[in-house]
Amino acid sequence: MQKNKIGLGQYFGRYKFGVLFYILTTIFAGVCSIFVTVYTAKAIEVITFLDFEGAVSNLLIVLGITVMRRLSWWASGALYDTYSVKIMADLNNDLAKQAFKLNSRTFTSHDTGTFVQRIVSDPEKVVNSLADIVNMVANIITSFAMVIYIAVLNVYVGLIVFGLVAVSLLIEMWRLKCRRRNRSRTRAESDKITTLTTEIVRSEKDIKSLGLETKLSEVSAERYGEYKKAVYKGESDSTKFWIGRSSLIEVVSLFLLMFAISLMEKSVITLATFMIIHTNQSNINGFIWDLAGVADRIVDIKVSSNRMFALFDEYEFVTERFGEVNLPEVKGDIEFKNVNFSFKEFEYETDKKTKVKTQKLVSENRIFEDLSFKIPRNTTVAFVGKSGSGKSTILNLIAKMMEVDSGEILIDNTNVNSLDKETLRKTFSLVNQFPYIFDMTIKENLLLAKSDATDEEILHSLKLASLAEFVDGLPKGIDTKVGESGIKLSGGQKQRLAIARAMLRKSAIILFDESTSSLDNFAQEEVKRSIDGIKGTSTIVIVAHRLSTIKDSDIIFFLDNGKIIDSGTFDDLYATNEKFKRMFLAENIDKF
């Protein structure tokens, strides 16, 4: 298993001077608080001897230190605002970049919430928790100094205070074990909620049209119920420990005051010393609370950082792998040689003692076994067959969105696994059945495919995709925003915009995966003519059920249970393959 080679240190190290100044100013403010307390105590002490001038002098010193403390807090806040944003942005960007590197199988084996929470929420949690730790450490320094100061005033009082701290720390160690376990479970349930919420928002129309509100409400209630249980368990455990620790502190604090009174009665300590002990009792409590707070934040940081940097773990979050072969010009020949491929589902477990992660195969669904075929350059081919026969999987394997278990896929007689990223990305254009349209203008969506495209090229691609007339009728034309996931467009318009993107790229190999499924007959015929118009200039691979889409393909491969059982032109298959003929006759489509 590949170990993580990335950690929080490198992100904070980029801004080490700013972070260092933030820590120093925060701690300096805490040190100022120590002197404020000490000189305030001196003022109380000397005033009991009616030394009013001395009391005023000490309070003037307190005033000066207070001003310095406030200035330090202001500088600390300004530094935090500056560098926390930068560090969070760096983490967000790097995690997002890493997500781009993950292969398709990794995405399909994890929930959306897994990525959203780790990329967006966990970095913020880490940075804020670290800032809390710095502030708490400054408070701890202040409180600890006062605990020492009180202990110096009287050794017996000091022993009581240190005994209280020791017992509280033992309670904290116990509590932290519970908290770490509860936090991990809570974050996992939170991931599931994020995934469900995302799905509900994106499928709002389907939910309403299918009357799924009640069912989805039940699913939501169940998911939120599990999340609520996890949160309740964590909060319940924390409350129990909080009550126990608070009760201990309150009882001991009262005993401490009673003990101090008895010492004062015996003239062991003065009234001023008693007042100092009484006044600074909050520092004793604060010392314990801040120690607990630091421990809490450390748990949060550990949980969040482990989740974030798990994205860099090749064992579970597998990245795409590229070769080093660069083809300056791809002709478009495709060959499958004895390809074997299965969909596999794994579970991952980490040993609590050794921390070693193990992978367990849960299920395996074999799709192809010894699949072989050739597609000559600049030809148009189609794959047909019943659902589940492996048609779309072939397209994903060609574009290396998925990797074969064994065998070879060759592009221009070069193993696709040997090609570098640049060659792979420029070689293929894939138009999915449900293409994703970004929350941009129509023009900006197309420029993603070719950043230097002219308006003339953009309009031509829209015309080829039978979308030009629709765009011309929009008040802002190609500058019209289409909304998140193209929500302002119909299903057919989304597909045509995706087809226009592919047309604009002019890749050597263009893959159409049910890309006309949402088009009406007129639009489909126009897109078919568009595809026919680029025949001979690119290798076109089509997965479709509709006859009109594949009728004029140079060759059709007929798939059944992951095997090519026949191939030929449409007329050949229609005349000789009864399964093929029945499949299209069932659609009531006239072959002529």
**Structure tokens belonging to residue 368:** 């192809």
CATH, residue 460: 3.40.50.300
pLDDT of residue 298: 85
Q: Are residues 187 and 87 in the same domain?
A: yes
CATH, residue 116: 1.20.1560.10
pLDDT of residue 519: 63
Q: Are residues 179 and 59 in the same domain?
A: yes
Lowest mean pLDDT among 11-25, 270-284, 320-334: 270-284
Nearest Cα to Cα of residue 186 among 235, 128, 132, 242: 235
> What pLDDT, in 10s, does the model give residues 282-317?
666 677 777 777 877 888 888 888 888 888 888 778
pLDDT of residue 99: 84
- 414 assigned to some structural domain: yes
Q: What is the domain range of residue 117?
A: 8-312
- 403 assigned to some structural domain: yes
* Residue predicted with more confidence, 465 or 459: 459
Q: By the 8 A CB rule, do 117 and 192 touch?
A: no
- Whether the pLDDT of residue 520 is over 70: the answer is no
* Residue predicted with more confidence, 519 or 426: 426
- 52 assigned to some structural domain: yes
List the alpha helices (DSSP H) in 357-452: 391-398, 421-427, 442-447
Q: Are residues 362 and 272 in the same domain?
A: no
pLDDT of residue 368: 92
Give me the number of domains the chain comprises. Answer: 3
- Whether the pLDDT of residue 2 is over 50: the answer is no
Cα(271)–Cα(153) distance, integer angstroms: 12
Mean pLDDT for the stretch of residues 409-428: 92
Whether the full predicted model's pTM is greater than 0.75, yes or no, is no
Out of 322, 347, 366, pick the residue that ends a domain: 366
- 162 assigned to some structural domain: yes
Q: Are residues 444 and 359 in the same domain?
A: no
Q: Are residues 281 and 397 in the same domain?
A: no
Q: Are residues 352 and 468 in the same domain?
A: no
- Whether the pLDDT of residue 94 is over 70: the answer is yes
Q: Are residues 291 and 423 in the same domain?
A: no
- 318 assigned to some structural domain: no
Lowest mean pLDDT among 3-17, 332-346, 416-430, 517-531: 517-531
pLDDT of residue 112: 76
- 330 assigned to some structural domain: no
Model confidence band, residue 1 (pLDDT cutoffs 50, 70, 90):
very low
Q: Are residues 263 and 362 in the same domain?
A: no
Lowest mean pLDDT among 97-111, 346-360, 530-544: 346-360
- Whether the pLDDT of residue 142 is over 80: the answer is no
Q: Are residues 22 and 141 in the same domain?
A: yes
Q: By the 8 A CB rule, do 497 and 432 touch?
A: no
Mean pLDDT for the stretch of residues 5-24: 87
Mean pLDDT for the stretch of residues 208-220: 68
- 591 assigned to some structural domain: no
Mean pLDDT for the stretch of residues 565-583: 88
Which range among 50-59, 128-137, 390-399, 478-487 has the greatest average pLDDT?
Answer: 390-399
Q: Are residues 387 and 432 in the same domain?
A: yes
**To the nearest whole percent, how much of the chain has pLDDT over 90?**
17
pLDDT of residue 592: 41
Fill in the amino acid letter for 312.
Answer: F
* Residue predicted with more confidence, 339 or 502: 339
Cα(304)–Cα(95) distance, integer angstroms: 13
φ, ψ of residue 359 in degrees (nearest 5):
-115, 130
Q: By the 8 A CB rule, do 463 and 419 touch?
A: no
Q: Are residues 353 and 449 in the same domain?
A: no
Model confidence band, residue 3 (pLDDT cutoffs 50, 70, 90):
very low
Mean pLDDT for the stretch of residues 471-486: 87
Mean pLDDT for the stretch of residues 102-111: 79
pLDDT of residue 561: 85
- 232 assigned to some structural domain: yes
Q: Which residues does 6 contact at the CB level (< 8 Å), separation at least 6?
A: 94, 309, 312
Strand partners, 291: none
> What pLDDT, in 10s, does the model give residues 19-39?
999 999 988 888 888 788 778
Where are any strands of DSSP class E within 320-447? 334-350, 357-375, 380-384, 406-411, 414-415, 428-431
C-alpha to C-alpha distances, 251 to 146, 160, 174, 258, 522, nearest whole angstrom: 20, 12, 21, 11, 83
- Whether the pLDDT of residue 490 is over 60: the answer is yes
- Whether the pLDDT of residue 512 is over 70: the answer is yes
Cα(327)–Cα(421) distance, integer angstroms: 11
Mean pLDDT for the stretch of residues 349-376: 80
Over the range 322-344, which residues count as b (16 or more CB within 10 Å of their CB) and which as e?
Answer: beeeebeebebbbbbeebebeee
Q: Are residues 513 and 419 in the same domain?
A: yes
Lowest mean pLDDT among 31-35, 180-184, 433-437: 180-184
